[in-house]
Chain A
Amino acid sequence: MFSAYYLQIIILVGINIIMATSLNLITGFTGQLSIGHAAFMSIGAYAAALATLKLGLPFFGSLFFGALLAAFFGVLIGVPTLKLKGDYLAIATLGFGEIVRIVFLNLKITGGAVGLRGVPKNTTILWVIVAAILTIFVLNRILKSRVGRALVAVREDETAAESMGINTTYYKILAFGVGAFFAGLGGGLFSHYFQYIHPNSFGFLRSIEHLCMVVLGGLGNIWGSIIGAAALTAIPEFLRASADYRQLFYGAILVLMMRIRPEGIISGKKSRKIPPGKTSAWRGKNKFLKATR
């Protein structure tokens, strides 16, 4: 029905849905800006690929191994950096992402600057759909539970949440761990689809791309992230028709889309109208969701 090209784009949309929804858990729901999501993806990608190549694990096993290792690093980076707030946390995650990329670029076992070849092609459209649905399902369950309400409370007002007896540190680490787990899953699917990985593709530009998907789709809304991921995966491919102007248009589209719908395609808030006297749709104290003036 679909040519291999569409199939490839749909697979990438699926992987990006996993990346965007898991980042949304960290940034959109818990309010912790992360610009290092690609690092968790690359950890999952390399760990899963090496598990297949060196340990001979079956595909499912290596995916799970990659995701677990990414979650481990998510918690590892989460614990010390949780003291940090706002932009300082963002820059720490960005630094972490760059460190991971440079380490992969220089390690022997990952193939270093030559990249890792010969990963078997195990990722099929079915695997991706199952993984994406699983991710959305699990995240939805989490968000609809006590944990989810706690996460949103952390986003809206940390001090208030703390005084209500919510262990904010625990929930922030949880968000990082779960988000990193699914990012690692996406990475494992990624490496087993392309059969080759190189650290170049996991730089801070990729993390920024994930962030764009989340914000464009709508912060704090899972469905929004799905649309954001689909749109930002498909748009650059559409724009191939515009040849040399492709990236120019892409930049302009980002600016225009934010101008038309600054709260994202689907806003996470129930009421979309900004009441008179309020400066923003977001009433909480979170620095990133607050208006600039």
Chain B
Amino acid sequence: MFLQQLINGLVLGSTYALIALGYTMVYGIIELINFAHGEIYMFGAFVGMYLVTVFKVPFVIAFLLAMVLASLLGVTVEFLAYRPLRRSSRLAALISAIGASIFLQNLALLVMGPRPYTFPSPFTPKVYKTSLVTISRVEIIILVISFLLMIGLTFLIQKTKIGKAMRATAQDKDAASLMGINIDLVITVTFAVGSALGAAAGVMVGIYFRTVTPMMGLMPGLKGFVAAVLGGIGSIPGAMLGGLLLGIAEVMGAAYISSQYRDAIAFAILIIVLLFKPAGLIGRFMQEKV
């Protein structure tokens, strides 16, 4: 049973990790908690579902298109709601992000209605059973795609020119700009990539749980943010680790302690971790400069 619960936790955690990556990337560059990220995730799921069910697009293409369209939405939100506030306090940008989140959620509710839509699974359901664990094909696919996307992102950030620019911008915006890096472009790319990852998570959760609703971004959005902080916000490997740990903590809490207190246990673990590692698991603890 323990091994089975561990797998349950890993699958849940890998979706949290993908959402957390979107938060952490944006945060790393402009130190903004992008509250509308949960809604981008929801949007991605809707696009994927719509393309598959209405336009009968093959799943792989629908998946990629959802990522592209979601990154366009992410960039639009950045342009309309965050860019004008770049010279204002971070809290002002946070409130603007909350407003954007409420707006997008209710726009989806008005356009799509409140009833859950079914996202038909593109894979023939198959369950692999051993004496210890059972795992379904969808779960394996989710784990594989998540890890591929995370490896791809690491490559993008470590090995490409734009990745280098991102790292430079995260370190010191003014110096980066003096070195000829187009900061606006870097921010736009960051939002695009983060939103694409969020949409990927949305589509995968959509096929896993087979439903898409306008409200689906609310809780995963919050959990993704928590996962990002748990790992150390701003750190890419931290977001992955944080997501996986949060998923496992939730599942283990529900399984071995109490399913009533599941979320409370997850948050208690978060607070305890933060007390011992005040900047998250992999975060750098920044000593204030005098």
Q: Which of B95, B268, B279 contacts A212 (CB 8 A)?
A: B95
- Asked whether A250 is an interface residue with its Cβ less than 8 Å from the other chain, the reply is yes
Number of interface residues of B (CB under 8 A): 54
| Contact residues, B210-269 vs A (CB, 8 A) | 222, 225-226, 229, 233, 260-261, 263-264, 267-268
Contact pattern, B 70-99, Cβ under 8 Å of A = 1, otherwise 0: 000000000011001111111111111011
**Contact of B87 with A279 in the complex, beta carbons under 8 Å:** yes
| Neighbouring A residues of B102 by C-beta, 8 Å | 247, 250-251, 254
In contact, B100 and A251 (Cβ under 8 angstroms): yes
A106 touches B95 (CB 8 A): no
Among A94, A106, A256, the most chain B Cβ lie within 10 Å of the Cβ of A94
Q: Decide: A293 and B87 in contact? CB cutoff 8 A.
A: yes
* Most chain B Cβ neighbours within 10 Å, of A88, A92, A212, A263: A88
Cα distance A253–B106 in the bound complex, in angstroms: 13
Taking A96-B271, A251-B103, A259-B96 as contacts, is the C-beta distance between A103 and B89 under 8 angstroms?
no
| Cβ of A3 under 8 Å from chain B | no
Binds B, one of A79-87, A114-122, A131-139, A172-180: A79-87
Q: How far is the CB of A220 from chain B (nearest CB, A)?
A: 10
Q: Does A51 contact B (CB under 8 A)?
A: no
Q: Let me know if A167 is at the binding interface, CB within 8 A.
A: no
Cβ-based interface call for B200 (8 A)? no
Question: Given known contacts A87-B229, A293-B30, is B288 in contact with A248 (CB within 8 Å)?
Answer: no
The answer to whether A280 touches B87, judged by C-beta atoms less than 8 angstroms apart, is yes
Contacts of A208 in B (CB 8 A): 98
Q: Which of B90, B101, B263, B267 is in CB contact (< 8 Å) with A290?
A: B90
How many interface residues does A have (CB within 8 Å)?
A: 59
Q: A159-B288, A248-B110, A288-B89 are in contact. Are A92 and B274 (CB under 8 A)?
A: yes
Q: Any chain B CB within 8 A of the CB of A154?
A: no
Q: How far is the CB of A245 from chain B (nearest CB, A)?
A: 7
Query: Residue of B at shortest CB range from A95?
Result: B267
Q: When chains A and B are docked, how far (Å) is the Cα of A263 from the Cα of B93? A: 10
Q: Is A274 an interface residue (CB 8 A)?
A: yes
Q: Give the contacting residue for A91; candidates B81, B109, B229; CB below 8 A.
A: B229
A216, A282, A288: residue with the most chain B Cβ atoms closer than 10 Å? A288
Q: Which A residues touch B183, using CB under 8 A?
A: 293
Say yes or no: A291-B90 contact (C-beta < 8 A), given A81-B271, A106-B260, A285-B288.
yes
Q: Is the CB of A98 within 8 A of B267?
A: yes
Known A212-B98, A254-B95, A255-B100; contact A262-B275, beta-carbon cutoff 8 A: no
Is A244 a contact of B91 with CB atoms below 8 Å?
no
Evaluate contact between A88 and B279: CB separation under 8 angstroms.
yes
Which B residues touch A215, using CB under 8 A? 91-92, 94-95
Q: A263 contacts which chain B residues (CB < 8 A)? A: 88-89, 92
Q: Are B87 and A102 in contact (CB under 8 A)?
A: no
Question: In this complex, what residue of B is CB-closest to A247?
Answer: B106
User: Does residue A109 face the partner (Cβ distance < 8 Å to B)?
Assistant: no
Q: Of B90, B99, B222, which contacts A292 at CB under 8 A?
A: B90
Nearest-Cβ distance from residue B24 to partner chain A, whole angstroms: 11
Contacts of A106 in B (CB 8 A): 260-261
Please report the C-alpha to C-alpha distance between residue A137 and residue B161 in the assembled complex, in whole angstroms: 57
| CB proximity of A277 to chain B, nearest CB, Å | 12
Interface contact A282-B103, CB-CB below 8 Å: no
- Decide if B271 touches A95 in the complex (CB within 8 Å): yes
Say whether B278 contacts A83, CB under 8 Å: yes
Partner of A262, one of B27, B30, B33, B92: B92
Instruction: Identify B89's interface contact among A85, A94, A256, A290, CB under 8 A.
Output: A290
Asked whether, in the complex, the Cβ of A258 is within 8 Å of the Cβ of B290, the reply is: no
How many Å from the CB of B172 to the closest CB on chain A?
Answer: 11
CA distance A256 to B84 in the complex (A): 10
* Per-position binary interface string of chain B over residues 100-139, scored 1 when its CB falls under 8 Å from any chain A CB and 0 otherwise: 1111111101100000000000000000000000000000
Query: In whole Å, how far is A80's beta carbon from the nearest beta carbon of chain B?
Result: 6
For residue A103, which residues in chain B have a CB less than 8 angstroms away from its CB?
261, 264
Whether B30 contacts A292 by the Cβ 8 Å rule is yes
Per-residue CB proximity of B29-57 to A under 8 Å, as 1/0? 01111000000000000000000000000
Q: What would 10 A/B residue contacts be, using CB atoms closer than 8 Å?
A: A80-B271, A91-B226, A103-B261, A247-B102, A248-B106, A254-B102, A255-B99, A263-B92, A291-B89, A292-B88
Which 7 residue pairs are nearest across A and B when measured between Cβ atoms? A254-B99, A251-B103, A262-B88, A251-B102, A95-B267, A255-B99, A102-B264
